[in-house]
């Protein structure tokens, strides 16, 4: 048999999910993305990236969205309305008081070892900031969240790991940008990009139809 006549090997189709932990829309997307992907036989690859760095270095935006006149007020109303619609607990700590840097670094350290554990950690970080008004800003706070989520986080205390996490998170952010990612949440399936948790219905329809 001619090997070129064989079907291409199926390595498993996935759905890439890019998010920053500070984003309420990323949090809302995180609640729904596994079910959406599973409906289409896809697994989710979770990609934490540093939105603030992308805003500054790529988009050239200095001002946080919440500080933009009118738009900031709208977004505050919108996220509460969306949380009610989705039935998702929503009691965020102030965005300005939360940096996703520590959580992002720890996420990538965990992901190097086990992607499913990293996704569990991501859920716990999202929940802490957006639903329990507690922003995990320090390494210890992030490790405590991991522990609460049933993740064996003892090995994360090794001092050299924070530097390794820094590299991983920075590289992951660069890789996201290289994929064309500029906002949170973003989804990529088969090279097709969708931005915003309000596009999940469209993303679902795309997968259902196989594009259009």
Identify which of 8, 19, 13 has the alpha carbon closest to the alpha carbon of residue 129.
19
Residue nearer to its own copies on the CB measure, 41 or 60: 60
Shortest CB 152 distance to its own copies, Å: 38
Shortest CB 192 distance to its own copies, Å: 8
Please say whether the beta carbons of 26 and 126 come within 8 A: yes
Identify which of 24, 14, 6, 20 has the alpha carbon closest to the alpha carbon of residue 49.
20
* Residue bearing tokens 């039935």: 87
* Residue bearing tokens 């706070």: 141
Residue nearer to its own copies on the CB measure, 38 or 68: 68
Shortest CB 197 distance to its own copies, Å: 10
Shortest CB 12 distance to its own copies, Å: 25
Shortest CB 20 distance to its own copies, Å: 15
Shortest CB 75 distance to its own copies, Å: 9
CA 174 → CA 46, 60, 180, 186, distances in Å? 15, 16, 10, 15
CA 204 → CA 82, 172, 181, 209, distances in Å? 18, 25, 19, 9
Residue nearer to its own copies on the CB measure, 65 or 161: 65
Residue nearer to its own copies on the CB measure, 58 or 116: 58
Q: Which residues bind its own copies (CB under 8 A)?
A: 58-60, 63, 68-71, 73-74, 77-78, 81, 84-85, 177, 180-183, 193, 195-196, 198-199, 201-202, 205, 212
Residue nearer to its own copies on the CB measure, 136 or 185: 185
Give the residues across from 188 on adjacent strands. Answer: 16, 193
* Cα(193)–Cα(24) distance, integer angstroms: 20
Residue nearer to its own copies on the CB measure, 77 or 133: 77
* Cα(58)–Cα(114) distance, integer angstroms: 30
* Residue bearing tokens 């996490």: 165
């Amino acid at each position: 048999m001619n090997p070129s006549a064989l079907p291409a090997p199926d390595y498993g189709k996935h759905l890439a999910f890019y998010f920053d932990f500070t984003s309420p829309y990323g949090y809302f997307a995180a609640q729904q993305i596994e079910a959406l992907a599973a409906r289409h036989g896809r697994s989710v690859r979770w990609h934490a990236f540093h939105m603030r760095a992308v805003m500054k270095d790529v988009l050239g935006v200095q001002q946080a969205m919440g500080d933009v006149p009118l738009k900031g007020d709208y977004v505050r109303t919108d996220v509460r309305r969306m949380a009610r619609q989705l039935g998702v607990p929503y009691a965020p700590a102030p965005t300005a008081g939360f940096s996703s840097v520590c959580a992002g670094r720890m996420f990538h350290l965990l992901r190097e070892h086990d992607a499913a554990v990293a996704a569990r950690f991501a859920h716990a970080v999202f929940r802490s900031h957006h639903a329990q008004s507690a922003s995990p800003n320090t390494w210890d706070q992030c490790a405590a969240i991991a522990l609460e989520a049933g993740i064996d986080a003892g090995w994360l205390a090794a001092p050299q790991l924070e530097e390794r996490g820094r590299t991983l998170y920075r590289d992951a952010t660069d890789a996201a940008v290289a994929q064309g990612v500029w906002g949170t949440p973003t989804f990529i399936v088969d090279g097709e990009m969708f931005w915003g948790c309000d596009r999940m219905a469209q993303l679902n329809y795309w997968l259902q139809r196989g594009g259009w």
